[in-house]
Structure 1
Amino acid sequence: MVKIGCSSLFFWEYDIEEIVDIFLELGLKNMEFFPENPEFWKKRNDLDYINSVKSELSKLEITIHSPYIELNSSSTNENIRYVTLMETFWAIDLSKKFNAKLITIHAGKRPTHRVPTDEEYDNFDDYLKKSIEYALKKEITLCLENSPEKINNICYNVESMKKTLYKFEDLYITLDIAHARENSLDFIKNFHEKIKNMHISGVNSKDHYPLSESRINFDKTLNLLVNEYGYKEALNFELNDLIYKKSLSKKEKMDILTNEIHYLEKIIK
């Protein structure tokens, strides 16, 4: 059986203990934990706090998403590249401490709105080489998330992902179906053996809408992966509360997620 979960960022305004309680109440089995949750980020160097969070997160299966806000492993600025690598190492250590088996990272990108050059790819390859080596030492699986389709992004299509995976046999995939959009079936067919984690959401005017409101139907994509290829890892909802015209209450968010869980269960049953 797959493990249905959700990103902690959908409940970013609550403390970790409350987020865990919400997940347990909804019957979720997995959490993709974003350490850039505001409360956690401010206290991440407090060992007592980290241990208390570890105790709470032990009630669920956990995957970790490496920090990515303001970071770029392909940056022309060597200081940004260095910080990106150090934050990834920190997140790998955090994964080990929280007993998470895998961590999701983002691909690099050209800082300007232009097609990436060999320099951006070389910087990204150097980051991957060092990150994979460190993850292997810590016995953590490193999963690369496919990027949204933008001119300056690396690994937003099947060809670019193939090019990267060919170089790094110990690298796996977190497939974000909203990023893949109409190409999600091609990603499944080409990489089903490499997919170890999933981000589930729909596409409407923007990415990360509820799956039930998506203008792109992902039923075939999810059925193919789960029922044809036997995927048994996490299916994590990654929903964006900014798509709504008002701030959502906790109950409203829980109701949205409950509806999404039921919708997903019908697709993959």
Structure 2
Amino acid sequence: MRIATSTLFFWEYPILKILDIFKEIGLKCIEFFPENPDFWDNRFNIDYLCEVIKELKKFEIAVHNPHIELNPSSLNPYVREGTLKETLWAIDLANNLNSRILTIHPGRRPVSREPTEEEYEHFYRYLKNILEYSKDKDLFICMENMPKKIYRIGWKVEDIDNILKRFDNLYLTLDFAHAKNYANIFVEKFNKKIKHVHISGVKNGKDHYPLKYSEIDVLTPLKKLLDYGYRGIITLELDDRRIKEHSKEYKIKVLLEDIELLESII
């Protein structure tokens, strides 16, 4: 069993500095979030990219697809086109990093109403394209379950079930904090499709707190998933807006406490 953390927790540092921090605390696995400001600004600089990829390859990597400002179900064809291009780029990046996991976000309606058939069709075309592009690569494309929001695709159990049945080569990243009290249902129904895990605490209805602050039990459904035979990466996806201090030392302390808690159950 491998415990990772997302590079997003240390977003304010350059990627090479983040990797030094992870080496310092003994992490062997990470989820790489490419929209880190340092990486995003320099990703087409060949010298920079080669150096970063060399260091990233010292870890076991899961890649999170770019999603900020992107939406595969957008009514705007240019946004859809940009989202597809960024995902194809992320597939190539994951392949170059020898990653077997690329987590994607499903589409959403751009207003606070339920998605229409049009938004679903845009998402289905996007999935068809990226799954076709990735078919010859040793890579699982994993759709992440979303928080409960009326305008989102992919937060209801039945919605995810329908999408996974439509695309049998699509898999699931189970985010326990997004699933909240329904996590057990997700585990029972989709355990054979779950190839990656995000875990964090939930407090006052908000996700991505450190586990020790969680008001919802996310560890029991995780144990159930392990009982079903899950042996993939478990990624701590923490948000530094949920902690009281942002120094490197404090973030490391928070991270190590959560890693110790996870290690105690697996």
Class of the TM-score when normalised by the shorter of the 2 chains: over 0.9
Letter in 2 for 1:165: L
Local SS of the residue matching 1:129: helix
CA shift, 1:245, in A, is 4.5
| Matched residue, 1:263 | 261
Show the counterpart of 2:87. Answer: 88
Question: What corresponds to 1:152 in structure 2?
Answer: 151
Cα distance in 1 for residues equivalent to 2:105 and 2:13: 25
Q: Which runs of 5+ in 2 are unaligned?
A: none
| Matching of residues 93-112 of structure 1 within 5 Å | 93-112=92-111
Q: In structure 1, what residue type is equivalent to 2:97?
A: F
Which residue pairs with 1:219 in the alignment? 219
CA distance in 2, matches of 1:186, 1:7: 25
Aligned residue number for residue 10 of structure 2: 11
Match of 1:234 in 2: 233
- Is there any run of 5+ residues in structure 1 with no aligned partner, and where? none
The aligned runs of 1:120-269 (5 Å cut-off) are 120-205=119-204, 206-226=206-226, 228-246=227-245, 248-268=246-266
1:264 is matched by which residue type in structure 2? L
CA RMSD of aligned residues (A): 1.0
How far 1:100 sits from its partner (Å)?
A: 1.0
Paired with 1:230 and 1:137, the residues of 2 have a C-alpha distance of 26
What's 2:113 paired with? 114
Identity of aligned residues (%): 49
> Which segments of structure 1 move beyond 6 Å, counting only runs of 4 or more?
none
Assess if the C-alpha contact under 8 Å between 1:34 and 1:64 holds in 2.
yes
Structure 1 length-normalised TM: 0.96
Q: What SS does the corresponding residue of 2:102 show, helix, strand or coil?
A: strand
Structure 1 residue 139: Cα displacement = 3.1
Quote the Cα distance in structure 2 between the aligned partners of 1:110 and 1:36.
22
1:93 to partner: Cα distance: 0.7
Secondary structure at 2:126's aligned position in 1? helix
Q: Deviations over 1:37-61 (max 9, x none)?
A: 0000000101111110111111110
What amino acid maps onto 1:214 in structure 2? S
Instruction: State how far apart, in whole Å, the 2-side matches of 1:178 and 1:62 are.
Output: 21
Tell me the secondary structure at the aligned position of residue 267 of structure 1: coil
